[in-house]
Amino acid sequence: MLAKASIKEMRIIMQEQLITYQTEISGNVILFCRFLRTKGYVLGTIEETDALKAISFMPINQEKYFKEALKAAVTKTQYQFIKFDEFYQEFWDQLSKAVKAKTKDIPIKNERKGKTQKRDAQFEALKNWLKLNPLDDEKAFSSYSYMEILTKKNFSDLSREEMQFMMRLLQKLARKIIHQKSRLRKTTKRKTKLDLKRTIRANMRRGSTIHKIIFSERKNKKLKLVLLCDVSRSMDLYSRFFVHLIYAFQNTYDKIETFVFSTALHRVSEILDNYELEEAFNTISERVPHWSGGTTIGSCLSDFTKDYGYRLLDKKTIVFVLSDGWDTGNPAIMKEAMSTIYKKTRKVIWLNPLAGSSNFSPEAIGMKTALPYIDVLASAHNLESLKCALQQAQSRRNLLNG
Amino acid sequence: MKNMELQLIKKMLQDHGYIGEDAIAMSIFLSMKLEKPLLVEGPAGVGKTEIGKVMAKALNSELIRLQCYEGLDSTHALYEWNYQYQLLYLKMQEGKKGDLKKLEETIFSDQFLLKRPILQAITQQNKSVLLIDEIDRSDEEFESFLLEVLSDWQVTIPEVGTIRATNIPQVILTGNRTRELSEALRRRCLYLWIDYPDFEKELAIVKTKVPEVDSNLGKEICSFMKELRLLRLEKTPGVSETIDWARALASMHLTHLNQQIVEDTLGVVLKDWQDMRQIKDSLSELLEKTGVVSRII
């Protein structure tokens, strides 16, 4: 205990020195970099050296150049680029406050002991504000970025701006799963890889002379997606996000069908295709009569298998069900529907936003009945979990477990 | 003394008809000083590619351009063996008796190597400008492949070995965010975001690029474009559209905008039929906002 306390004290003293002795400009730049790190900038030592090198090329007397040089050196994304000025201002404001506090203390050197406490408090405040806890800081910075922050954030508390950013990430993800390559190869004009087998075959008639060279590449595997999204009241918190999600999917890929359901099933692919996001959302919630109503997942799913199952479900299809599994209908219907879907498709992935909480167990009756017919049950409460679930979609169904 | 070079770059940009914010000159200056690639992002048509062109002109060096597209791979970006040539050469050597090892060395020599833009840029005698255009269109695999080149300035060819850069080229990457670029690539570059210019800047650009335009017309065009960009369009027109439009209107020797003319020449500015329809419906309102008095004859 004692040792721990003294280490902590030492750290505080060291930190204090770190801040008080920043009379050199380079020190301030480093401090600024650390401040930016807390704001989600990815800054390693390379960027710090870059920043220092950059300002060494600048005239010392003009702040404008100083600021722009720093901006050019440390920003890496549009978000960072635009926000830079604001953060810059914030940092120097805070720093100048600290400097002022310090200069005030200098004349009363004799009463230093009394004042140190006050100063300590001030620096403590600044430190807290700067979040200059070196251990955590050092640990975090290698993986610290705006995106990282977002991936761990719960979907239910996202702002509009963050939502847009999220959409970009989602589209990227969606594209990744959808554009899979098959192991089969096809000839191509692109000079990707020389296909010896086909080259020899094509040139056989000419004897041993090879005139024509044939290249091949991997065939695209065309997977189809079906999204079934629960929009009942129990899902209210998440359904808005899920609409965003299916919108992102629908717009990246054309082999996709989307349905929403609460007490009845509705096909919404066309609405999502033809309208802007906001409009699409409004139109869907208008047209679906029981938006945020009760749920009968079982009968909806069985409607789906009856009406669309024949056409939409095959071994190239991945089915996503986005629901919390609160069913008020008969479990037997649900069971039948789920087993049909399971048998006919490549994979069934159930995204349950509640599965993210630590004390989750598939208690809901609907969830319990569906469980044997699901390949992957994943929480979809934040981007990271969603990413995991989507990565699962790429592989084939594991028959040993099923 | 120190900001001499910076001023020089600013002047150089201006001399070549590139008008932009100070941040642009600063980024170019630093990327030259630190020998780091410059990643330029921004909406379409704000002059991202132009930076590379102007730089090549100003540095008096060759501009090597690599246009990225989906499916671009190292054989198109880096190097490729000239297979046909190699085969023909072997055929020619068939009758003769020669050392097999020597023959192998010959067919994998410089003579049979097709240099693609990146290899060309790093083996150049003089410092060159390498413009990697629309990097976000390429696949992620290509992006990670670029990392080796951009940080170590070397290229590994299995048959030959590692080729180091004789001169580190000035690299400019452009993109307009059709896809988020990887963190690793960003960290190797300096970043610059170019947005649509403000009214004065745009007017200055129009005046430099289209000197024959009437000054009053130029003002009207720029303020019209400014209002246009505030609307939610499918494809927001860039500076290049402004210049095209100014050129088109100047060639008709006009001095004022009016509704008829705008309606007729809208195709120069807007490239989407939905936008066209939307703007045509609200044209008179838009013109009123820009301060064009519609004269009813």
Rg (CA), chain B: 24
State the architecture of A222-394 in CATH terms.
3-Layer(aba) Sandwich (3.40)
Q: Do B34 and A53 touch (CB under 8 A)?
A: yes
Looking at residues A325-349, what average pLDDT do you find? 85
On whether any CB of chain B is under 8 Å from the CB of A65, the answer is yes
Of A54-68, A206-220, B65-79, B119-133, give the range with the top mean pLDDT.
B119-133
pLDDT of B174:
92
Q: Do A77 and B33 touch (CB under 8 A)?
A: no
CA A169 – CA A148 distance, rounded (Å): 11
Q: Which of A92-106, B15-29, B48-62, B111-125 has the lowest mean pLDDT?
A: A92-106
Q: For an interface test with B, which of A49, A53, A57, A83 has the most B Cβ atoms less than 10 Å from its Cβ? A: A57
Residue in A closest to B42 by C-alpha: A78
Sign of the dihedral defined by the CA atoms of residues A64, A70, A76, A77, in that order? negative
Please, which residues 103-122 of chain A have a Cβ atom closer than 8 Å to chain B? Answer: none
The backbone region for A186, taken as left when phi is positive above 0, alpha when psi lies in -120 to 50, beta otherwise, is: beta
What φ, ψ does residue B222 adopt, rounded to 5°?
Answer: -65, -40
| Residue B246 distance to chain A (closest CA, Å) | 30
Q: Do B26 and A72 touch (CB under 8 A)?
A: yes
Reference A152, options A386, A331, A402; nearest CA is: A386
CA A123 – CA A127 distance, rounded (Å): 6
Strands B170-175 and B190-193: unpaired
Looking at residues B239-248, what average pLDDT do you find? 91
**Is the predicted pLDDT of residue B44 greater than 90, yes or no?**
no
On whether any CB of chain A is under 8 Å from the CB of B69, the answer is no
**Is the predicted pLDDT of residue B28 greater than 60, yes or no?**
yes
On whether any CB of chain A is under 8 Å from the CB of B57, the answer is no
CA A200 – CA A212 distance, rounded (Å): 9
Residues of A whose CB is below 8 A from B80: 191
Q: Do B3 and A65 touch (CB under 8 A)?
A: yes
User: Taking a C-beta distance cutoff of 8 angstroms, is the pair B181, B143 a contact?
Assistant: yes
Reference A256, options A300, A180, A309, A312; nearest CA is: A312
CB nearest to A58's CB, from B3, B22, B41: B3
Residues of chain A with CATH 3.40.50.410: 222-394
SS3 B89: helix
Checking ipTM against 0.85, whether it exceeds it is: no
Sign of the dihedral defined by the CA atoms of residues B215, B221, B224, B225, in that order? negative
CA B20 – CA B193 distance, rounded (Å): 12
User: Taking a C-beta distance cutoff of 8 angstroms, is the pair B41, B49 a contact?
Assistant: no
pLDDT of B293:
57
| Number of neighbours of residue B2 by Cβ within 10 angstroms | 11
**Is the predicted pLDDT of residue A37 greater than 90, yes or no?**
no
Reference B103, options B87, B90, B88, B84; nearest CA is: B90
pTM of full prediction above 0.80: no
**Is the predicted pLDDT of residue A20 greater than 80, yes or no?**
no
pLDDT of B244:
92
CATH topology of domain B3-78+116-193: Rossmann fold (3.40.50)
Q: Which long-range contacts (CB under 8 A, 24 or more apart) does A134-138 make?
A: A134/A11, A134/A15, A137/A34, A137/A37, A137/A38
pLDDT of A142:
33
SS3 A221: strand
Residue in A closest to B151 by C-alpha: A46
pLDDT of B63:
92
**Is the predicted pLDDT of residue A298 greater than 80, yes or no?**
yes
More confident position, B63 or A126: B63
Looking at residues A376-401, what average pLDDT do you find? 70
On whether any CB of chain A is under 8 Å from the CB of B94, the answer is no
**Is the predicted pLDDT of residue A294 greater than 90, yes or no?**
no
SS3 A163: helix
pLDDT of A101:
61
Of A152-161, A291-300, B242-251, give the range with the top mean pLDDT.
B242-251
SS3 B133: strand
pLDDT digit string, tens, across residues B191-213: 998 888 889 889 998 998 888 88
Q: Do B180 and A168 touch (CB under 8 A)?
A: yes
pLDDT digit string, tens, across residues B63-83: 999 998 877 877 788 888 888
